[in-house]
Structures are given as structure tokens and as C-alpha cells.
Amino acid sequence: MSNNWQEPTNAATGFPPPPPLAVAPSMQIAPPTAIPASHALFAPYAAAAVPLVADDPLPVYVAPEAAKRGRGKLLGAIAAGVMLLGGVGTAIAIRSNANSGAASPEAAVQSMMNSIEAGDWLGAMETMPQGERQFYVKVAEKSISEAKRLGFLSEAGSARKVSGIKIDFKDITMQSLTVSDRVARVTITGGSVTSDVTASQLPIGDVLSKLMGHENATLTDQHNEQTITPNDDSSKGFIGTVKDDEGWHVSLMYTAAENARGEKAMPKEAIAAKGAASPEKAVEEMVRAGLSADVNRVVELVDPQEGAVFHDYGQLLVDAVSQDDIDPTYWPKVEEMQLTSTPGDWGTVVGVKKIVMVSTNSDDGSKDKITFEQSGDCTSITSETDGEVSDTQQFCSSDVQDLFLNDGDGTCDEGDEGCARANVAKDVMRAITGRAAANPYQSGVVTRQIDGKWYVSPSSTVVAAIFRFTKLVERSDIEKILKA
């Protein structure tokens, strides 16, 4: 397949947009906490159960506390500016190959602040490392498209400038702490930030406007001024930057990784990327490595463009698992795995046709086997103990619909508004599951070929599944609920 993602030379790369970077009272930006740091690399294959396919049109189915004053406000403003990029993107070409790096870590942060201050969100995005900005552009394009389709954002939404929001920085001072020849932490030491929100100028869509009215919510103008007070503790409230051939860049992923690293020593060497011979082999090898607690091999198989941060910080995860003295002897093992691959919008999607897992009971030595097999939109699950079948079940998309169809007769007592609203919600869910049944799709993991080898792309796997789900929802579904 063609590869539109350029191989970076020591470049940081993109990940799925994380939650807004929360600035805790300690002024340290909180990293994602959904997966423990010692097990974070198991997320790629854990996502294998998430349904996704290419973004093809769906057939229509007709169904009956605030942070402390000081640097936190400034960091929050910068983080907010970065996160807004995910909500104001449009299908436009950005200069993703432009030489956009800065001469120093401080200059990279200043460049992003300049773009945010000017309302140039596209320029702010271009201060990120190449792989990261490429990924965010794609996510932004799809986010804006879906937000407009569902009526949450008006057609005025633009990546060039976010109307209704203005952020100004003044007399900003900063200092950097070099972590390695590629990574540095930048701490804001002084200055001020002013933010203004003009409610009437926000690109609010009609459906979102109705939703706010339904909840008796109103938007008001906001004005905030904050002075940044000096703090000698540079370990709190910093921004991560990374260097590549273009220069220095602000990076969300390296900011999170540096916060997770804390005071631990930075790995002296990155774990080199070592891909597999095919999409199916990449997924199979990652699953087998994960079930053997071979974190090093898991990292090797992560997309080196999308997941450069995993490679740079991977040794920390290897060491953490080693220190935990994990014994995978009695963990489930893969006896058989049949996989399929299909070209998709985010990469090649690897789906599970059949997988057989076996495990040994540590108490009595009995052998348990469980078989998952996919056929159309149905999945069968068979359990065995010492060769004897103990249970067989089958689940299809129609079973999900039956949950709504068979839940009572839908009759409501006069004046029972709660019951009426519940019936509307059931109708909406029947419509959504009906669309899914009419357009069955496989569960899968996104993989990508780079320099002849195949790798697992964890962030693409997650976001592809999210966008696939949003396509099942129609504007009319939301409006029906609002009218109930």
C-alpha cells in the first residue's frame, strides 16, 4: 500500500488527542491515567475488540475546580489552544512538510503562543512535530465534519481562526531544562495571560443551541486576567518539547511522557522499531508478546511514526514490568489465530476471524480453552475444560436490537413523561443498532507499512473506532431526544 506518512528522523509523532491537560494544584500537568504506566503498551492489542472499518457511507435504516494562580493559567491557555485544534479543523492542506521547527525549546513555545494569540490555529498546529501535526490534522478534519453534520458546530467553524475566543500573552518569561539531546522541559516563569470569550461569536450549531435551550443553559461572555508568579520548582507545570531535523517543537505526547517519567532517569537509548512481515503478523506477534509480558517486543511493533514516544520511553516500561516480577506462566496463550486484513481510511485494518486461547489452572492443572469465531455480524464463544465443551454462546447485532424490542410493550401511563422519554430513547437506540446491522463491520486493529515492515498503530485504532461509531448517529436522533 502507499505510505503517505513520512519517516521522521528522530521525530516525535502523533497520538490520538488526549483529554485536555489538567493543571493540578501542584501545577503538574496530569498524564492520562486510564492505563497504568507499566502496562500502557498493552493498549494497542487491547483495542482489538473495538469495531471499525473504512469511513464508507452508511445505509439508512428505518426503525419503528480551577488551578492555582500563576503558571497554571498560562499552561491551561496553551493546552486549551492546542486542544481547540481538534474542534476547529477543516479539510484543508497544511504545510505538514514545511520547515517549522524553532531554534530552541523556548522559541518553540513562544511560536505556539504567537499563533494562539493571533488566532492562527493552523499556525499553532504547525509548531508540533511532523508526525503529531499530521495525525491531529486528520483528526481535526473528521471532527469538524462530524460536528457540523450533527449540528454541534455551525458552518462558520474554521481552522484558520476560532471566532469568539481571544487569548493574549504579555511579558512572558521562561526557562528550559534539557532532558536529552532531543527532549527539553520548558517552564513559564513570569508574565500574564488574558482570555476573552464572546458568546455571540462562537460557532454554535443549531442542534447544540437547541440542546442548551433544552437544559436551560446559556452562554455568557467571559473575561479573565492572570498574572504568572515565579516558581523555583521547575519540575512543576512544564511543557514538553522535542527536537527533530526541523528544529524544536511543542509536543503533547512528550509533555505527557515527561510528566509520567517524573524524576526517573531518561532512557539512554530508544527501543528500535522492528516490524513484522504482514499486517496479520504484526498484530499476532504483538498479542503473543503481550501475553508473554515481553514489553520490549510490544514496543518494537508500535508504529514508529505515530508512536515515537513509546520507542523513546519504552525502556522505562520494560524496567517497570521487570521490577514488578511478573510471572506470565499461567496467563492465557494463543493456540490458534486466524486474522483478516482490509484497507481502511486510517491504515490496514486487521480483524479477528478466529482465535483460540488456552490456559492452565494453577490449582489443579486443568486445561481451559476458549474459542472466539466471527461469522458475518455474529460471534460465537465456546468454552472447554480438559477437552469437554462446557458452554457455547452466539451473539449477533440483532440480539442487541432485541434488548430494546423486548423490553416491555412500550405502553406509558398518561402523563408519565419519564416513560415517554425512555421510549423515545429506545427508538433511537433501535435505529442506531439497525444501521449497524445493515452495515456490519469487523473488529480490528489498524496497522501501517513503513519501509517494508508492518506495525500496529494504537492511536489510529482508537480514533477510527470512535469515528466509526459517530457515523451511526444521525442529527435526527439527537433532535428526537430533545423533543421528548
pLDDT digits (tens, 9 = 90+) for 404-462: 555 555 677 777 777 888 888 888 888 887 787 776 655 689 999 999 999 999 999 99
Choose between 231 and 196: higher pLDDT.
196
Q: Which of 431, 449, 457, 339 is nearest to 14 (CA)?
A: 457
pLDDT digits (tens, 9 = 90+) for 146-203: 999 999 999 888 767 778 889 999 999 999 999 999 999 999 999 999 999 999 999 9
pLDDT at 366: 87
Does the pTM surpass 0.85? The reply is no
pLDDT at 22: 33
Per DSSP, the three-state class of 325 is: coil
pLDDT at 443: 65
pLDDT at 48: 34
Quick check: 101 and 244 in contact, CB under 8 A? Answer: yes
Residue 347 predicted with pLDDT over 60: yes
Q: Which of 76-85, 100-109, 373-382 has the lowest mean pLDDT?
A: 76-85
Res. 283 pLDDT band, cuts 50 70 90: very high
Res. 64 pLDDT band, cuts 50 70 90: very low
Q: Which helix (H) or strand (E) holds 309?
A: helix 308-323
Annotate 380-417 with b (16+ C-beta within 10 A) or e (fewer). Answer: eebebeeeeeeeeeeebbeebbeebeeeeeeeeeeeee
Compute the distance between CA of residue 31 and CA of residue 46 in angstroms, rounded to an integer. Answer: 20
Q: Which helix (H) or strand (E) holds 417?
A: helix 417-438
Q: Percent of the chain scored above 90 by pLDDT?
A: 38
Residue carrying C-alpha cell 496530569: 30
pLDDT digits (tens, 9 = 90+) for 472-481: 899 999 888 8
CA angle in degrees (0–180, nearest 5) for 50-52-55: 155
